Structure 1
Amino acid sequence: MCLDNDSRTQRAFVMARNLLKNPYGEEQLEFWELTENGGSQWRVEDMPGDCGHDFSDAAVTKYFATSFELCLKRQLIDLPEEGFTSEQLDAQPVVAVEDWYCGRQDCGCTYHMTVCLLDDNQEVLEEFKPEPVTLDPESDDCSWKQVSHAFSEYGPGLRYISFEHGGSDKKYWEGWFGVRVTGSSITVQV
Structure 2
Amino acid sequence: MTKNLLKNPCGEGNMESWEVTENGGDSWHVEDMPGASGHAFHDAAVTKYFATSYALCLKKQVVDLLAEGFPADYLDAQPPVTVEDWYCGRSDSGFLYELTVSLLDDNEKILQRFRPDEVAVDAEKDDCSWTKVTHKFSGYGPGLRFISFEHGGQDTKGWVGWFGVRVTGSSVKVQA
- Whether TM-score is above 0.5 comes out as yes
Conserved 8 A contact 1:98-1:148: yes
Letter in 2 for 1:116: S
Who is 1:54 aligned against? 40
CA RMSD of aligned residues (A): 0.6
TM-aligned CA deviation for residue 79 of structure 1: 0.2
Percent of pairs with identical residues: 65
Who is 1:20 aligned against? 6
Deviations 1:139-190 (A, max 9, x none): 1120000000000011000000000000000011111000000000000003
Letter in 1 for 2:138: S
Who is 2:94 aligned against? 108
Correspondence for 2:158 among 159, 172, 182: 172
- The two structures have a TM-score, normalised by structure 2, of 0.99
Who is 1:80 aligned against? 66
Three-state SS of the structure 1 residue aligned to 2:73 is helix
Deviations 1:84-127 (A, max 9, x none): 00111000000000000001111100001000000000000000
Gaps of 5+ in 1: 1-12
Letter in 1 for 2:77: A
Letter in 2 for 1:56: H
Note closer, same or farther for the CA distance 1:157–1:97 as it changes in structure 2 (3 Å cut).
Answer: same
Distance 1:179 1:135 in 2: 9
The answer on 1:148 being equivalent to 2:134 is yes
Note closer, same or farther for the CA distance 1:51–1:72 as it changes in structure 2 (3 Å cut).
Answer: farther
TM-aligned CA deviation for residue 50 of structure 1: 1.7
TM-aligned CA deviation for residue 29 of structure 1: 0.3
Within 5 Å, which residues of 2 pair with 1:132-147?
132-147=118-133
Who is 2:56 aligned against? 70
- The two structures have a TM-score, normalised by structure 1, of 0.91
Structure with greater helix share of residues? 1
Larger radius of gyration: 1
